[in-house]
Amino acid sequence: DAGITQSPRHKVTETGTPVTLRCHQTENHRYMYWYRQDPGHGLRLIHYSYGVKDTDKGEVSDGYSVSRSKTEDFLLTLESATSSQTSVYFCAISGSDTQYFGPGTRLTVL
């Protein structure tokens, strides 16, 4: 697997609390992505980054923000978690067009 890690791997939180997920890469790839995976919806893009401090919105960005202050780290923040944000979150990296996925974070919002 490409050098991608995600933390935490599992998290249970309560509605209204802030949550930050971290994606870390050792491949020095330019592009990084955050997806959420839900039954019946496949993988949907939340936000992506094409360089340090360069980010843009994806298909399902409402309620999420991101930051990338270093090439190797891409953070996804839920400012005030809601039950609809219960999902599995995958980070991906890419040096060109091929994307490689991290191990995922299972987030449960009660």
Partner 1 sequence: GENVEQHPSTLSVQEGDSAVIKCTYSDSASNYFPWYKQELGKRPQLIIDIRSNVGEKKDQRIAVTLNKTAKHFSLHITETQPEDSAVYFCAAEDNTDKLIFGTGTRLQVFP
User: Are 58 and 47 within 8 A, CB to CB?
Assistant: yes
Q: By CB under 8 A, name the one of 16, 18, 28, 41 that touches partner 1.
A: 41
What is the 8-class DSSP label of residue 38? E
Q: By CB under 8 A, name the one of 87, 102, 107, 109 that touches partner 1.
A: 102
> What distance in Å separates the CA atoms of residue 103 and residue 98, rounded to the nearest whole number?
17
Of 52-81, which residues contact partner 1 (CB under 8 A)?
58
Q: Which stretch binds partner 1 (CB under 8 A): 15-23, 36-44, 60-68, 77-85?
A: 36-44
CB atoms within 10 A of CB 67: 15
The residues of the shown chain that bind partner 1, judged by CB under 8 A, are: 1, 31, 33, 40-45, 48, 58, 90, 97-104
